[in-house]
Structures are given as structure tokens and as C-alpha cells.
Amino acid sequence: MDESIYLDEARDPLIIAESWMKDGKDVAIATVVETWGSAPRPVGSHLVIDAEGNFHGSVSGGCVEGAVVTEAVDVIGSGKARMLEFGVADDTAWQVGLSCGGRIKVYVERLG
């Protein structure tokens, strides 16, 4: 049965986050909380990250994941949640950006 009505456990970021925590790992979760213009992933999309920088899921089409992972490792260390904002690539405030021209806000928090 393709298009299962049940969760795709092997690829579901929240299921992976839960199993990482069960394994005793420190885990952060990044969530798209707002989008403007053409954004590659909808509000509510998740990226989960462990302290070594391993990750699953996505918050963009691959454009900003690297930066989110770096920030998430810091969040795991400090325990303090952060709100990140990404705009177009030439926006001087950020080194990375969205080539599609959209803007997204990503909330990063440590789990547990």
C-alpha cells in the first residue's frame, strides 16, 4: 500500500526525535512558524537535530538547513530557544538565504 494513512515511521521527524531521546541523545527541533511569499516548506514543517549535527526532515528546500543545524547545536548547548529568520540570499543580515525569494521564520527549541 503506497500513500499509507499511517505515519511513515522511518522518515517522520517527530518519531525520529522521540527515538533519539529514548537513546539518551540531546535533541533540538526546528519548526517553520511563519512564511511570506513563496516558501518551499509549509508552516509546521520540522527539522530535528542532535548534538552532533545529525538531522532529519526539512524547513526549506535545503537552502537554510545548514544554518539551522548550526544554530540548533548551540540551542542544545544553552537550552535557550531561538527564533531565526531567513530572507532572500542577498539580504546582508544573513549569509544564507532562500533563492526562491520568500521569507521564513524558524523556531528552534531543545526538547525534553
Partner 1 sequence: MKTLNEERRARRAAVLVTDLGDGRDRIVREGDHVAGDLGAAIANAFRTGHSRSVEAEGRTFFLNAHLPRPRLVVIGAVHISQALAPMARIAGYPVEIIDPRTAFATPERFPDVALHAEWPEDVLKRQPLDSYTALAAVTHDPKIDDFALKAALDARCFYIGALGSRKTHAKRVERLLALGAGADQIARIHAPIGLDIGAASPAEIAVAVLAQTIHAFRSRGLEAKGAVA
Binding residues for partner 1, rule: CB under 8 A, are 1, 3-7, 14-15, 17-18, 21, 31, 33-34, 42-44, 81, 83, 107, 109, 111-112
Smaller CB distance to partner 1: residue 21 or 89?
21
Q: Cβ–Cβ contacts within 10 Å for residue 94, how many?
A: 16
> C-beta of 91: minimal distance to partner 1 in Å?
21
H or E segment and range at residue 56 = strand 55-57
> C-beta of 112: minimal distance to partner 1 in Å?
8
DSSP one-letter code for 93? T
Output the CA torsion sign for 48, 109, 27, 68: positive
Smaller CB distance to partner 1: residue 14 or 89?
14
> C-beta of 71: minimal distance to partner 1 in Å?
15
**Among 7, 29, 10, 35, which residue's Cα sits nearest to residue 75?**
29
> C-beta of 92: minimal distance to partner 1 in Å?
26
Smaller CB distance to partner 1: residue 43 or 66?
43
Task: Give the whole-angstrom CA distance, residue 21 versus residue 76.
Answer: 13
